[in-house]
Structure 1
Amino acid sequence: MSRRALLGAALGIPLLSACAGFDTSGAAGAGSVGFLSTQFTPVEERRRYEQALREHLRVDVAYNPVEAGVFATTIRSQVESGRVGTGLVGGLHGHLAPVADQLDDVDDLLADLTAAGYSDEVLDLARLGGATAKYVPWMQATYVVAVHRRALDHLPPGVDVQHLDYDGYLRWAQAAAAAEGRPVFGIPAGPNGLHHRFHQGYLLPSFTGGQITTFTTPDAESAWEYLRELWAVTAPASTNYDFMQEPLARGEVLVAWDHVARLVGAVDQRPDEWLMVPAPRGPKGLGYMLIVAGVGLPRGGAERELAEQAIRGLSDPALQVETLRQNAFFPVVRTELPTDLPAGIALESAAVRAQQEADDAILALPPVGLDSRDAEVSQVFANCFTRICLNREPVRAVLGSEARTLSAILGELRVPCWAPDPVADVCEVG
Structure 2
Amino acid sequence: MGVSRRDALRLGLGTAALGMLSACALDTSGAPGGVGSGGLVFYSTQLSTTAEAESVRRQILAGFGEEVQFTADPSTTKLLDRVRAEAQAGTSNLGLVGALQGEFATLWKEGLLRDMTDVVESLGDRAFTSRYLDLARFDGRYAFVPWISASYIMAARREALDFLPAGADLQNLTYAQLLDWTRAIQQATGSARFGLPAGENGLLKRFLQGYAYPSFTGGVNTTFASPGAVTMWEWLQQVWATANPQSVTYGFMQEPLLTGEVWVAWDHAVRLVDALQTRPEDIVSFPAPTGPRGLGYLPVLGGLSIPRAVADPQPSIELIRHLTDPARASTTLRTVAWFPPQDLGAIPGGLPPGVGQEAETLQRMVGTPGALASSLAVGLGGQSGAYDKVFTDTFRRIVLDAGEVRGTLATQAAALQGVLDTAQARCWTPDPLGEGVCRVG
| TM-score > 0.5, shorter chain as reference | yes
For residues 197 and 112 of structure 1, the distance between their equivalents in structure 2, rounded to whole angstroms, comes to 34
For residues 330 and 412 of structure 2, the distance between their equivalents in structure 1, rounded to whole angstroms, comes to 41
Instruction: Note if 1:383 corresponds to 2:390.
Output: no
State how 1:81-160 maps to structure 2 within 5 Å: 81-100=89-108, 101-128=111-138, 130-160=139-169
Per-residue displacement from partner, 1:388-420 (whole Å, max 9, x unpaired)? 111111110111010010011111211111111
Equivalent residue in structure 2 for 1:346, among 353, 356, 367: 356
For residues 25 and 89 of structure 2, the distance between their equivalents in structure 1, rounded to whole angstroms, comes to 13
Instruction: Note if 1:233 corresponds to 2:242.
Output: yes
Give the deviation of 1:108 after TM superposition: 1.0
Correspondence for 1:219: 228
Instruction: Note if 1:23 corresponds to 2:23.
Output: yes
Q: CA, structure 1 residues 168+311, in 2 after alignment: closer, same or farther (shift >3 Å)?
A: same
Secondary structure at the aligned position of 2:285 is classed as strand
For residues 74 and 93 of structure 1, the distance between their equivalents in structure 2, rounded to whole angstroms, comes to 18
Instruction: Note if 1:420 corresponds to 2:436.
Output: no
Instruction: Note if 1:166 corresponds to 2:170.
Output: no
Q: CA, structure 1 residues 417+348, in 2 after alignment: closer, same or farther (shift >3 Å)?
A: same
Per-residue displacement from partner, 1:354-384 (whole Å, max 9, x unpaired)? 1112112100122111122211111111111
Letter in 2 for 1:409: V
Secondary structure at the aligned position of 2:61 is classed as helix
Equivalent residue in structure 2 for 1:45, among 28, 31, 52: 52
For residues 61 and 341 of structure 2, the distance between their equivalents in structure 1, rounded to whole angstroms, comes to 20
Q: CA, structure 1 residues 334+269, in 2 after alignment: closer, same or farther (shift >3 Å)?
A: closer
Structure 1: stretches of 5+ with no match in the other structure: 1-17
Give the deviation of 1:54 after TM superposition: 3.1
Correspondence for 2:84: 76
Contact 2:295 2:370 in 1 (8 A): yes
Letter in 1 for 2:42: F
Letter in 2 for 1:77: A
For residues 361 and 231 of structure 2, the distance between their equivalents in structure 1, rounded to whole angstroms, comes to 27
For residues 25 and 359 of structure 1, the distance between their equivalents in structure 2, rounded to whole angstroms, comes to 52
For residues 164 and 72 of structure 1, the distance between their equivalents in structure 2, rounded to whole angstroms, comes to 40
For residues 24 and 430 of structure 2, the distance between their equivalents in structure 1, rounded to whole angstroms, comes to 34
For residues 56 and 257 of structure 1, the distance between their equivalents in structure 2, rounded to whole angstroms, comes to 36
Correspondence for 2:208: 199
State how 1:328-343 maps to structure 2 within 5 Å: 328-336=337-345, 337=347, 341-343=351-353
Letter in 2 for 1:58: G
Contact 1:417 1:424 in 2 (8 A): yes
Correspondence for 1:372: 382
Secondary structure at the aligned position of 1:272 is classed as coil
For residues 357 and 214 of structure 1, the distance between their equivalents in structure 2, rounded to whole angstroms, comes to 25
Q: CA, structure 1 residues 107+229, in 2 after alignment: closer, same or farther (shift >3 Å)?
A: same
Equivalent residue in structure 1 for 2:62, among 49, 55, 61: 55
Give the deviation of 1:22 after TM superposition: 3.9
TM-score under structure 1 length normalisation:
0.92
For residues 335 and 236 of structure 1, the distance between their equivalents in structure 2, rounded to whole angstroms, comes to 38
Letter in 2 for 1:401: T
For residues 362 and 181 of structure 2, the distance between their equivalents in structure 1, rounded to whole angstroms, comes to 22
For residues 310 and 69 of structure 1, the distance between their equivalents in structure 2, rounded to whole angstroms, comes to 25
Give the deviation of 1:116 after TM superposition: 1.7
Contact 2:113 2:305 in 1 (8 A): yes
Query: Cα RMSD between the aligned structures?
Result: 1.9
Correspondence for 2:7: none
Contact 1:24 1:64 in 2 (8 A): no
For residues 31 and 179 of structure 1, the distance between their equivalents in structure 2, rounded to whole angstroms, comes to 59
Letter in 1 for 2:296: G
Per-residue displacement from partner, 1:214-262 (whole Å, max 9, x unpaired)? 1111011111111111111111110011111111111100110000111
Contact 2:195 2:247 in 1 (8 A): yes
Contact 2:61 2:323 in 1 (8 A): no
Give the deviation of 1:338 after TM superposition: 5.4
Q: CA, structure 1 residues 193+19, in 2 after alignment: closer, same or farther (shift >3 Å)?
A: closer
Contact 2:154 2:267 in 1 (8 A): yes
Q: CA, structure 1 residues 339+318, in 2 after alignment: closer, same or farther (shift >3 Å)?
A: closer
Contact 1:25 1:74 in 2 (8 A): no
Letter in 2 for 1:345: V
Secondary structure at the aligned position of 2:128 is classed as coil
Correspondence for 2:273: 264
Contact 1:317 1:335 in 2 (8 A): no
Larger CA deviation: 397-406 vs 371-380? 371-380
Correspondence for 1:34: 41
Contact 1:315 1:333 in 2 (8 A): no
For residues 367 and 25 of structure 2, the distance between their equivalents in structure 1, rounded to whole angstroms, comes to 40
Contact 1:106 1:296 in 2 (8 A): yes
Larger CA deviation: 48-57 vs 419-428? 48-57
Q: CA, structure 1 residues 70+153, in 2 after alignment: closer, same or farther (shift >3 Å)?
A: same
Give the deviation of 1:28 after TM superposition: 4.0
For residues 50 and 148 of structure 1, the distance between their equivalents in structure 2, rounded to whole angstroms, comes to 34
Per-residue displacement from partner, 1:89-123 (whole Å, max 9, x unpaired)? 11001111111110010111111112222223322
Identity of aligned residues (%): 38
Letter in 1 for 2:83: I
Instruction: Note if 1:393 corresponds to 2:415.
Output: no
For residues 248 and 228 of structure 2, the distance between their equivalents in structure 1, rounded to whole angstroms, comes to 26
Per-residue displacement from partner, 1:164-214 (whole Å, max 9, x unpaired)? 111111100110111111111100001111001000000010011101011
Give the deviation of 1:19 after TM superposition: 8.1
Structure 2: stretches of 5+ with no match in the other structure: 1-17, 27-33
Letter in 2 for 1:54: L
Secondary structure at the aligned position of 1:63 is classed as strand
Letter in 2 for 1:427: C
Contact 1:31 1:303 in 2 (8 A): no
Contact 2:210 2:374 in 1 (8 A): yes
Give the deviation of 1:334 after TM superposition: 2.3
Correspondence for 1:429: 440
For residues 391 and 196 of structure 2, the distance between their equivalents in structure 1, rounded to whole angstroms, comes to 14
Letter in 2 for 1:357: G
Letter in 1 for 2:91: R
Q: CA, structure 1 residues 97+106, in 2 after alignment: closer, same or farther (shift >3 Å)?
A: same
